[in-house]
Amino acid sequence: MARHAAAAGLLVWAVLLMVVVLGAGSYSPTHERRLQNLFSALFPKGPLPLPVRIYCKQNTTLNAAIRDNTVVLTKANSSDPTQMWFQLYSSSSFVQPIGLRPFSLVNAATSQVVVIPPFSGEFPSCLAEPNNNQLQLTENFDLNKAREELWTRGAPRADGFYQVIVTKDPSMTLNGLLGNVRDGTVIGIYPSTTQAENTLWKLTSASPFPFSFP
């Protein structure tokens, strides 16, 4: 019975992943095979879900990427595969009333899962200071973390931007830390502030910056 339940859970994940429609994107055949092997427990052999880029309302020329094992905003670049992310949708029945089904974020280039830190309550005054509220990354792809580190999309505004909410603690949202985002701004979590543009995001694979692996 337990084996059947586990298999059913994986099947739900597979179906949810396969129905995501995210727009244009492509991979090299070698990279796609590697990802399929890594994610084989989540969806069947065949086309991978297409990745998204993550950009911030405060400066839409910047995308979320990985630099020195840190999630930061950096200048959008179609040749940078670390700016591509998978939204892996959870089979959890818990859904925020204002959002959609929870999802985790996995980098399409490194296969690292974004880990949500506990909010520290500390407020560094500049980028040079350590920030305990910044996003963390798993060392490699971690199936358990992909099921646990969940986000929920908030209600979109008229301009299409929305908050990305920590599913387990809806008082916390994705944040370009310290505001006034620029190339190198660290991304983390912070108490919800709906009027601040560094807390508003859009996850999409649509142009103006087409994404493909070299």
What residue ranges define each of the domains in the chain, with the CATH number in brackets?
27-205 (2.80.10.50)
pLDDT-derived band at 193, boundaries 50, 70, 90: confident
d(C-alpha 68, C-alpha 66), whole Å: 7
d(C-alpha 195, C-alpha 183), whole Å: 22
Question: Can you give the pLDDT at residue 114?
Answer: 98
Q: What is the pLDDT of residues 36-78, one digit of tens each?
A: 777 766 665 556 677 899 999 999 999 999 999 999 999 998 8
**b/e per residue 21-35 (b: at least 16 CB within 10 A):** eeeebebeeebeeeb
pLDDT-derived band at 14, boundaries 50, 70, 90: very low
Question: Can you give the pLDDT at residue 62?
Answer: 94
Question: Can you give the pLDDT at residue 24?
Answer: 34
Of residues 88 and 16, more confidence is placed in 88
| pLDDT higher than 80, residue 212 | no
What is the arithmetic mean of pLDDT over 178-203? 93
DSSP 32-44: HHHHHHHTTTTS-
pLDDT-derived band at 90, boundaries 50, 70, 90: confident
- Average pLDDT over the chain reads 78
Question: Can you give the pLDDT at residue 43?
Answer: 64
- DSSP helix/strand/coil, 171: coil
pLDDT-derived band at 143, boundaries 50, 70, 90: confident
